[in-house]
Amino acid sequence: MSTVNSATRVDWVDYAKGLCIIMVVMMHSTLGVEKAAGTEGWMHAFVAFARPFRMPDFFLISGLFLARVIDRDWRSYLDRKVVHFAYFYVLWLLIQGFFRWPGLALSEGPAAVAEQFLIALIEPFGTLWFIYLLPIFFVVAKLARRVPPLVMLALAALLESAPIVTHWIVIDEFANRFFFFLLGWYAAPQIFAFAAWVSRQPGLAVAVLATWVFANALAVLTGVAEWPVVSLILGLAGAGAVIAIASLLARRDSAWMIRHAGANSLVVYLAFFLPMAMTRTVLLMTGVIPDVGTISLIVTAVAVVSPLVLYWIIQRIGWGRFLFERPAAFRLDSLRPPQRATPAPNPFP
């Protein structure tokens, strides 16, 4: 996940991230609306269709550039891949708690709030579980970087296919997603080559995508998408499909808002919960739109766009950058003791 902080970006990667973050927001928005309304809408079909590949592709893309930093010294690596996400996790845990915990404090007392905060340090809180799990993936990958890739992939594939259900998010999601993260790392050259091939052969790519849409929908409708091994295959196929769609979109850059959302995927991921909840509440309470599916679509759109607008405002006014950009004070380099300057040689002995 990223914000725009470099002039050097890969358009299709940003498109892929954009598609992924939109699907994530769509899931939370749609299921939240349906739960509050007590009924399903037409958007439910899109959420169900994306389930086999929504998170696999996000983790695959997250591992795509790992080779660039995996061999850095531990201090630099931990700063970029652990402290970076830990800062945003704790910050946005407190922000989300500011809206969620007052009611808990009134009903169960301040001790219940403290307990929930401490639990959130070992069990990811709400929508923030992705950035909690990513640092764990990064650390495990660095520790295992000397292990042959085929061995790691085989072990991770076994974890993905094993019936591991502990009801602890870190354990269950690690088992379900680590394979795709590793694949993004190990197969990065092949993935970039595939994206380039799609760009050169758009007609054939569209035909293959049409076949994938049918196969994925059939697997979801029949329930086989949840079967061991099948879920792994569908995750791989879906990740490839998202990369192909992203590559096709990048050819003409005709959907730049998706690319922009992808380039700022961390911004959207961190801040979508509040506009999502507010829009859902207003639309359901007023009843101005009776269709649950349409409400879900509007909530999704507002939840994606609002964080981007907020970030744009913050960049213009120059205040609030700490919400989406880690301050220097929270970098490991800032903790280094000052180096004593070496005195210049005396030119006049």
List the chain domain ranges.
11-68+187-318
Report angle CA 53, 271, 94 to the nearest 5 degrees: 115
**pLDDT tens per residue, range 152-180:** 999 999 999 998 899 899 999 999 999 99
Determine the pLDDT at residue 1: 63
* Residue that is written with structure tokens 């909690």 in the block: 132
Residue 3: band (very low, low, confident or very high) from pLDDT cuts 50, 70, 90 = low
Q: What is the mean pLDDT of residues 256-273?
A: 96
User: Which pair of structure tokens corresponds to residue 76?
Assistant: 């630099």
Q: Residue 332: which pLDDT band, with cuts at 50, 70 and 90?
A: confident
pLDDT at site 8 = 62
Helix/strand/coil (H, E, C) string of the chain? CCCCCCCCCCHHHHHHHHHHHHHHHHHHHHHHHHHHHCCCCCHHHHHHHHCCCHHHHHHHHHCCCHHHCCCCCHHHHHHHHHHHHHHHHHHHHHHHHHHHHHHHHHHHCHHHHHHHHHHHCCCCCHHHHHHHHHHHHHHHHHHCCCCCHHHHHHHHHHHHHCCCCCCCHHHHHHHHHHHHHHHHHHCHHHHHHHHHHHHHCHHHHHHHHHHHHHHHHHHHHHCHHHCCCHHHHHHHHHHHHHHHHHHHHHHHCCCHHHHHHHHCHHHHHHHCHHHHHHHHHHHHHHCCCCCHHHHHHHHHHHHHHHHHHHHHHHHHHCCCHHHCCCCHHHCHHHHCCCCCCCCCCCCCC
Residue 337 pLDDT > 70, yes or no?
Answer: no
At residue 103, the pLDDT reads 86
Q: Which residues contact 105 (CB under 8 A, 6 or more apart)?
A: 112, 113
The pLDDT tens digits for 31-84 are 999 999 999 999 999 999 999 999 999 999 999 999 999 999 999 999 999 999
pTM: 0.90
Spatial distance between the Cα atoms of 133 and 293, rounded to a whole number of angstroms = 31
d(CA 324, CA 326): 7
Over the stretch 90-99, which tens digit does the pLDDT of each residue have? 999 999 999 8
